[in-house]
Copies of this chain bind each other. A is one copy, B any other.
Amino acid sequence: MAKSASAANIVSSVSARRWEEPLLHGGELAGGRRLFPDAPEPFIDLSTGINPNPYPVSRLPADVFARLPEADGLASLAAIAAQTYGAPSASHVAAAPGTQILLPLVAALVRPGRAAVLAPSYGEFARVAALAGHSVAEADGLAAIGDAQLILVANPNNPDGRLFARNDLMALAGNLRAHGGLLVVDEAFMDVASSGASLSAEVSGGNIVVLRSFGKFFGLAGVRLGFALAAPNIAARLAAMLGPWAVSGPALAIGAKALADAAWIEKTRIRLEGSAKKLDGILTSAGLDVLGGTNLFRLVRTDAAGELFEHLGRAGILVRRFPEQANWLRFGLPANARAWRRLQIALAGFKQSG
């Protein structure tokens, strides 16, 4: 009896127990195989918004696995990230093993109070805000965001691809400033958005934090690398919470090389734009209504979403469904000609049978 009571004391000092349940995410191919055990292999994973043609990882020196990542390596990665993402300087950058791990730390930069998250959006926003002790309200657009000390939005938004205007976000940040609130803009898919929408250059004021994801655009989500761009005191605070060696040796090496490769970045932006257009064509040919998306994924709305998910799954193609939006499906980009063909055939088969 005494045992469990004391244990409860320790953990109950933090609220939001229900947010300790993991959320449903894409990328769970093993789960897809369990759902569709008779599907043809290779299973095609279109359930994420990750570039399926990754930046090439060359053979890594053994040292990057063996040695502690050094401060010099982290400093040069921060400088490269600042340059590529357009942050004012390296001191405005906190590097982390993925933006996901930054989210609870960013949410805890503000004393527990009212948080507002855009919805529908990335489900983790509400979860981490609640974990940090905030009461969370959802808003269906910037105008609907009421009084809040912490606002979390994705720009462009996931999964619908809504792109918010820089000026509208700056106005929101300006209003927040008056009562010491913080605007967090998750620019996970900004790499493939039209230029000029990012707030990366606007973080010096101190109440805007921009999150940039390495793994999605570069197709290297397993590396775990992400960045917070923020005023230097906030970036330092986040770095202190992460502690030394937060970014792995492989992530330092791969990240520094990839983020500096302007030619690959430009080529990839163009390629992804073409792929997204091609995907639109295939989806609309199949009679599906494309609601939106970014050049890394497309969102469709269909009353037959459940049946289509099953149909594609049986054909060995996993897409992303949304329990809270039963008529939505999100499609990532196929990796190669064979995968494109299989998707096209599967969708055509569904249209005929439908």
Chain A residues packing against B (C-beta within 8 Å): 2-11, 13-14, 19-23, 25-31, 45, 48, 50, 54, 57, 62-72, 97-98, 100-101, 103-104, 108-111, 124, 128, 131, 177-178, 180-182, 205-207, 215, 219-224, 231, 233-234, 236-237, 239-251, 254
For A2, the chain B residues whose CB sits under 8 A away are: 177-178
Nearest-CB distance from A201 to chain B (Å)? Answer: 15
For A221, the chain B residues whose CB sits under 8 A away are: 66-68, 245, 249
21 residue pairs A–B, Cβ–Cβ below 8 Å: A3-B177, A3-B206, A6-B207, A10-B109, A10-B180, A11-B109, A20-B237, A20-B239, A22-B71, A26-B68, A27-B68, A50-B66, A57-B62, A66-B219, A97-B97, A97-B224, A100-B246, A101-B101, A103-B243, A222-B249, A248-B251
Whether A7 contacts B234 by the Cβ 8 Å rule is: yes
Which of B19, B57, B97, B110 has a CB less than 8 Å from the CB of A246?
Answer: B97
Q: A9-B180, A10-B207, A30-B71 are in contact. List 17 more A-B contacts (CB 8 A).
A: A6-B178, A6-B181, A11-B237, A13-B109, A25-B244, A28-B70, A31-B72, A48-B68, A65-B222, A65-B223, A65-B250, A68-B222, A124-B243, A124-B244, A221-B245, A223-B250, A224-B246
Once bound together, how far apart are the Cα atoms of A67 and B14, in whole Å?
A: 32
Given contacts A221-B67, A246-B100, contact A13 B110 (CB under 8 A): yes
- In the complex, the chain B residue whose C-beta lies closest to that of A56 is B62
Whether A224 contacts B248 by the Cβ 8 Å rule is: yes
Which of B6, B31, B104 has a CB less than 8 Å from the CB of A180?
Answer: B6
Given contacts A62-B54, A101-B243, A237-B14, contact A223 B248 (CB under 8 A): yes
Whether B231 contacts A7 by the Cβ 8 Å rule is: yes
Once bound together, how far apart are the Cα atoms of A219 and B63, in whole Å?
A: 10
Nearest-CB distance from A79 to chain B (Å)? Answer: 15
Instruction: From A4, A97, A182, A231, name the one whose CB has the most chain B CB atoms within 10 angstroms.
Output: A97
For A64, the chain B residues whose CB sits under 8 A away are: 222
- In the complex, the chain B residue whose C-beta lies closest to that of A109 is B10
Once bound together, how far apart are the Cα atoms of A177 and B1, in whole Å?
A: 11
- In the complex, the chain B residue whose C-beta lies closest to that of A2 is B177
Given contacts A109-B11, A205-B3, contact A54 B65 (CB under 8 A): yes
Whether B28 contacts A71 by the Cβ 8 Å rule is: yes
For A181, the chain B residues whose CB sits under 8 A away are: 6
For A72, the chain B residues whose CB sits under 8 A away are: 28, 30-31
Given contacts A7-B207, A65-B54, A72-B30, contact A98 B245 (CB under 8 A): yes
For A205, the chain B residues whose CB sits under 8 A away are: 3, 7
Instruction: From A110, A224, A237, name the one whose CB has the most chain B CB atoms within 10 angstroms.
Output: A224
- In the complex, the chain B residue whose C-beta lies closest to that of A207 is B6
For A237, the chain B residues whose CB sits under 8 A away are: 11, 14, 20
Once bound together, how far apart are the Cα atoms of A198 and B100, in whole Å?
A: 32
For A3, the chain B residues whose CB sits under 8 A away are: 177, 205-206
Once bound together, how far apart are the Cα atoms of A28 and B100, in whole Å?
A: 28
Once bound together, how far apart are the Cα atoms of A103 and B246, in whole Å?
A: 12
Which of B7, B20, B98, B182 has a CB less than 8 Å from the CB of A240?
Answer: B20
